[in-house]
Amino acid sequence: MFRWIIDISSKLHNMKTPLDRPSRRKTTSLGVLLIAILFFCVSCGTSRRAEPPRPPLKISINSWVGWGPLFIAKERGLFGDTKFDIIFTEDAGARRSGMIAGQVDAYASSVDNLAIDGTFGVIGKTVLSFDESFGADGIVAKRGISFSNMKGRKVAVQKGLPGHFLLLSALQRNGLKPTDISILDMDADKAGSAFVGGSVDVAVTWEPWISKAITVPGAQKLFTTREYPGLIVDTLVVRDPVLKDRSPEIRALIKGWFAALQWYEANADEGNKIIASAYRLKPEEVKDIASGIRFCNLQRNRELLGTATSPGSAVALFAQAAGLWKDAGVTTSVLEAKSFFDASYLPE
């Protein structure tokens, strides 16, 4: 097709016979027509070679209600045309491996947990703070036990996860070292269940187990995030290549999150039903757990993430966690906190 057009155009251009005005107009018209056909063919070829639509972005989370408004945004269409697949991955190691291998584009992580995952090779940026624990995580103990007599005791907690960081922080605040206690390694649900069952004297757990635990005769809350908000902060971490190649979609996700929070605030009961359906819980269970969470709006995000020239409190939290993890022998190095945060994706 292109060769035929070029041949015709060349012949018209090289004609030796003088042309009067009318024939010149005809030739010019034919040339314009040929050029139009050429552009049409080129545009058709370009459309045939257009890249297929990109697959939905994959976001890995675990069964923590703090990420719940993501499902509100998805159901209410608050992400616009941008598509996301939200994948439940309960094992922390599997979530980390998925990020390292590029099997997912982003994952939900607490700031303290990212300080561990970075040492394993997770390369990404924290671009959004989802929520912060406000009483949903804590330490329960039998009455009579306090930090003043904690030395030598066994504490049920899952190593290397937010509950462990909470415990290390509490020990540090009370002048104790990680070596002053013995750890019984079990997840938050099992730790809470073990405490309620009477098989352990001290447990680091979360809701609803904290509420269940204090119903046990002789039980007490020893330390919770209600007294120390901003200690466990949950965030969205996006792989660096994804931020480079698909930044408009990441911005759409963040915008959708804030829109979901506004909608949830005005429609709490309906929102709890949406979250409950996603997590296979009852709406009243979501309500109870959410009462111990502070969702992070735009203003709070700016406080936590800061700016390139003025780092926010989450950056300092990362540095604190990195130091505690190393002191406890969980990691062997301390990474630069600022390299894991980028507030530029927040709306103006």
Residue 206 CA to residue 42 CA, distance in Å, equals: 62
**Confidence band (pLDDT; 50, 70, 90) for 49?**
low
Integer Cα distance of 257 and 254 in angstroms: 5
Band of pLDDT at residue 137, cut at 50, 70 and 90: very high
pLDDT at position 338, please? Answer: 94
pLDDT of residue 257: 98
What is the topology classification, in CATH, of domain 137-224? D-Maltodextrin-Binding Protein; domain 2 (3.40.190)
CA gap 323, 96 in Å, rounded: 20
pLDDT at 51: 62
The reported pLDDT for the residue numbered 50 is: 59
Provide the mean pLDDT of the chain. 89
Angle, CA 237 vertex, CA 306 and CA 233 arms, to 5°: 60
The pTM for the full model equals 0.83
- Say which CATH class 57-133+231-345 falls into: alpha beta
Q: Distance of CA 171 to CAs 110, 155, 318, Å?
A: 20, 12, 18
Over 80: is that where the pLDDT of 149 sits?
A: yes
Is the bond preceding 311 in cis, omega lying within 30 degrees of 0? Answer: no
What are the pLDDT digits (tens) for 184-240?
Answer: 999 999 999 999 999 999 999 998 899 999 999 999 999 999 998 899 999 999 999
- Tell me whether domains 57-133+231-345 and 137-224 share a fold: yes
Domain residue spans in the chain?
A: 57-133+231-345, 137-224
User: What percent of the chain is predicted at pLDDT more than 70?
Assistant: 85
